[in-house]
Structure 1
Amino acid sequence: MNSPHTVLLSTQFCPPVQYFAKILQYETVWVEHRENYQKGSYRNRCHIASANGLLRLSIPLVKGKNHQTPIWEVRIDYKTSWPAKQWEAITYAYGSAPYFEEYAAYLAPLLNGDKRFEYLCEYNAALLKVFLKLLNLRKTIHYTEDYHFSAPEGVLDLRQIISPKLELSSDPHFFSESYPQVFNYKYPFMENLSILDLLFCTGPQALLVLQKNSR
């Protein structure tokens, strides 16, 4: 892991464009699987564009989660029908997007509840694998087996940088390249939404957009 071309990211649910720009930019990618769970992050939520503006989707977790719970032990709560509602929201938001039907076949089983995962990390990893395939982004993702408060020498630590709590300006190496969005007739360009937005709206051009995002 001691390479100047290595980045360390947090596990995230349907990560934002910024996340994939980093995966593209760095030769070796590690995802943190040994930290403690953190509230208010992209670890179990994402942002998409809807007819009413920015919409947050979140995965309900089994009660008892807190900052002392190891992230790999965090379980997904299926007591409600949230997967079906989640996919319904995504369909309403992107049903008219140019590439929705093409990519929905790959994503629907993971997002509508047909395929379920007990653990959040497991779910996020499965989604990440599909996103990389759809982006035609050939990268091997490594997952940490122990925790370090500070990343090893030579590793860029972005575990806390890609966050809904931070302005994009806090990352000087990311430029939010605009692209056509479903509701651009109604709202200004929405920056750094979930990769779902970029894929459904730009299809095979998504990788080119990500290349422009990296400074």
Structure 2
Amino acid sequence: MRRGRCIGILQPVYLPWIGYFEQIDYVDHFVFQDDVQYTKNDWRNRNRICTKSGPTWLIVPVKRDGLSTRLHETRIDYGRNWARKQILTVRQAYSSSPYIDPVIAMLESAFDARPDRLTDLTIPLIEQLAGHLSIAGTFSRASDIPRAPDADLTGRLLEIAKAHAATDLYLGAKGIAYVDTQFLGQNGVAVTFQNFIHPTYKQHGADFQSHMSMLDYIANVGPAGVRQWLDTLPKFGSAP
């Protein structure tokens, strides 16, 4: 029996890894936590794909608007021709893949739109990739939910959960270190942390490279193959 309504809450990431999409597929609704402070040298504006010579970075340059800049306020720097180079890099990396053309079309369309804000690039791409994988989820942004001035991290999670009538949260594994599950439980919200086992699949090179962008998994096994793998994983409310 389903225990209620489960939501996932994660910061938006540029072309996320496989585990990010497992979280989206697990929950009833997914919230992009876009109202936190932007962090440099993180996954918010970059990710990796696997080329014939090994992993390489795909990076969206951002403008330096100050350390207190919120993620949803962070602006893209179009001063360099990085978008065209990224398309070429992806094409070359997966030139033999029969599955990459629709993904490249998504990237080209997103780049052509030239959104000003980083999250207006990363979030639509995540939503499109989820649809490409037949993930029938719904999405929203935390920045649309009022925030109490004194809300700490766990308090903010509770605000988001209450705004979406959630009885359960499904959070990333690192949240174990800083989320007050007792406080959330006392306020009617149960927490489950992701316990993810990374799949292996045929890839460039002799040694498998895990934690690549989902682009790598799609390029190597196709969207149907990814969907088949997702269907083997538990979902919220399913029998243990």
Give the Cα separation in 2 of the matches to 1:74 and 1:61.
7
Structure 2, gaps ≥5 residues long = 162-167, 176-192, 236-240
Structure 1 residue corresponding to 2:196, chosen from 174, 180, 188: 174
How far 1:209 moved relative to its partner? 2.3
Match of 1:76 in 2: 76
Alignment identity in percent? 23
Q: CA RMSD in A?
A: 2.3
* Partner in structure 1 of residue 170 of structure 2: 156
> Counterparts of 1:172 and 1:125 in 2: how far apart (Å)?
21
Question: Mind listing any 5+ residue stretches in structure 1 that lack a counterpart?
Answer: 162-170
Larger Cα-atom Rg: 2
The 8 Å contact of residues 18 and 174 in structure 1, kept in 2 or not, is answered as yes
Query: Aligned match of 1:120 in 118, 123, 133?
Result: 118
Q: Secondary structure at the match of 1:205?
A: helix
DSSP-derived class of the 2:58 partner: strand
Q: CA deviation at 1:5?
A: 2.0
Q: For residues 234 and 208 of structure 2, what CA distance do their matches in structure 1 show?
A: 18
Taking the aligned partners of 2:69 and 2:173, their CA distance within structure 1 comes to 17
TM-score by length of 2: 0.74
TM-score normalised by structure 1 residue count? 0.82
Alignment of 1:1-215 (within 5 A): 5-66=6-67, 68-110=68-110, 113-144=111-142, 145=144, 146=146, 149-150=153-154, 151-152=157-158, 154-158=168-172, 173-181=195-203, 183=204, 186-203=205-222, 204-212=224-232
Structure showing the higher helix proportion among its residues: 2
Alignment CA distance shift 1:65-1:127 (3 Å): farther
Distance 2:99 2:215 in 1: 10
Counterpart CA distance in 2 for 1:11 and 1:139 is: 15
For these two proteins, the number of residue pairs brought into alignment is 198
